[in-house]
Structure 1
Amino acid sequence: MKFTPICFFLLFISVFSCKQENKHLTRIEGKLLPITDSLVKNAEIEDMITPYRNHINKDLDSVIAYAVDTYSKSDGELNTAIGNLFADAIYEQANPVFKQRTAKNIDLVLVNHGGIRAIISKGNITKRTAFNIMPFENSIVVVALNGKNVKQLVNYLTKAKRAHPISGLKLTVDANYNLKEALINGKPLDTLKTYYVATNDYLYNGGDHMTFFKPNDSLYVLDYKIRNALLDYFYKKDTINPTIDDRFIKLDN
């Protein structure tokens, strides 16, 4: 039998392929590499980044309004000055957009207490203030809810016993947090009516266990970020002086 070069090549491949071993991952190791001031900066990268960093910082530190006091979301039990400002700003900025598109008005606003991520300090308000308060990319949506679902919304708030920002809605509970009165734009809640509720996309999708937004009659996406609404509100108001009011109160008896 005569072996040709191609036969030797195939024999070589066959023998060595049989000797290959299957390799398996047996261990993964990690090593902590702390980032400290001792690390040497890359001068070329720094030179490239610095102009952009300076431009962004200058823009974020530009003054757009003035706060007459310091406001925190922990200032009140059932409603806070900063929470009221937060909800009122959403209504004031979003309602014209919604009305232009639908010829309807927003009836009430509900957003979550945890969505406020910083205080407003007394003095100048800058663009950075708005980014600190709302660092998330949440957008405003308006949900058409029937009165029964709005009743669930009200029940959620009375059970939560927390200062979730609301606007257009007035709630009164007794000393045991039992609902005494629920008014929307000064009128009693009507379970047979459809209400247009502004919130954010996170809550609409069930965030903070707010499941009452689904099902609904309609959803309107305004393509308007809450942070941008705050910025527009600050620009327009110049000076802010929000207060704790009677939109959600508890009676002594």
Structure 2
Amino acid sequence: MRFTHFIFLLNFFIFFGCKQEKLHLTKIQGEQIQITDSLSSNTEIESFIKPYRDHIQKDLDSVLAYSVDLYSKTDGDLNTAVGNFMADAVYSEANPVFKSRTGKDIDMVLLNYGGIRSILPKGNVTKRTAFQLMPFENSVVVVALKGSQIDSIVEYLKTRKRAHPISKFKLVLDKDFNVIEAKINEKNIDKNKVYHVATNDYLYNGGSNMTFFKNNDSLYVLNYKIRNALIDKFIKLDTINPVIDDRFIQIK
């Protein structure tokens, strides 16, 4: 009987003795550490990283093409040479990928003005140039839209009055920004046809208030970055000489 009592008392003390107290956060302290040149570097880490850094820098600075002039997104009102180049590059480089997977062609390309993050400088063009133009990890997607939905793209472009990059698409406005002409691949837009519009994942998800992509027939994710399309285009060209043309204009 005494042995039974001993076992009971032992279990009692083990249960209540091991019970953890509830802990409560009472104070948070922090310290700001300034990262400046005064911080000494770790030579061992630096020597380890240096070969990799040198390799990356060499790769980024490898010359891919030559640009005959400096091109900026501020050079034009409704279309710019650098914007045209980027949209055309997406079309020429992404279309073979899309066609190999679906048997279909991309009908048009729409990017955004704000996505052009740098000038295209005069002189040697490198991989670094592509990273400067497109530092984001945005990838090409192709959205299937009915012809009737293309009206939303037209309305967006004529209302925004910005040089959003487009390719294989033409839009002509009058002096009051009314639509005179809207064509895809030099043909009038068929309301009953399905068009495959290439853009990037940021815009597909509503970036730059392009909300018209979500209501679509199909979405094709190419896993092909805009930046990589630019690099591939640079490699194929000896000389880069894009122009401002009549793909998006206003007749005054």
Q: TM-score, normalised by structure 1?
A: 0.90
1:187 aligns with 2:187: yes
CA distance in 1, matches of 2:26, 2:80: 56
User: Counterpart of 1:73?
Assistant: 73
User: Counterpart of 1:30?
Assistant: 30
Gaps of 5+ in 1: none
CA distance in 2, matches of 1:215, 1:65: 39
What are the Cα deviations for residues 22-51 of structure 1, in whole angstroms up to 9, with x where unaligned? Answer: 543233232221111111111110110001
1:61 aligns with 2:61: yes
- Superposed CA RMSD: 2.2
User: Counterpart of 1:239?
Assistant: 239
CA distance in 2, matches of 1:23, 1:195: 60
CA distance in 2, matches of 1:149, 1:103: 23
1:148–1:192 Cα contact (<8 Å) kept: yes
1:106–1:197 Cα contact (<8 Å) kept: yes
The code of the aligned residue for 1:176 comes to D
Gaps of 5+ in 2: none
CA distance in 2, matches of 1:99, 1:15: 70
1:86 aligns with 2:89: no
1:137 aligns with 2:137: yes
The answer to which of 37-46 and 97-106 deviates more is 97-106
3-state SS in 1 of match to 2:221: strand
CA distance in 1, matches of 2:8, 2:104: 84
1:151–1:191 Cα contact (<8 Å) kept: no
The code of the aligned residue for 2:184 comes to I
What are the Cα deviations for residues 188-235 of structure 1, in whole angstroms up to 9, with x where unaligned? Answer: 222121111111111112222212112212222222111111111000
CA distance in 2, matches of 1:139, 1:209: 18
User: Counterpart of 1:49?
Assistant: 49
3-state SS in 1 of match to 2:141: strand
The code of the aligned residue for 1:243 comes to V
- Kindly, what percent of the aligned residue pairs are identical? 63
**Alignment map for 1:139-158 (pairs within 5 Å):** 139-158=139-158
The code of the aligned residue for 1:186 comes to E
The code of the aligned residue for 1:93 comes to E
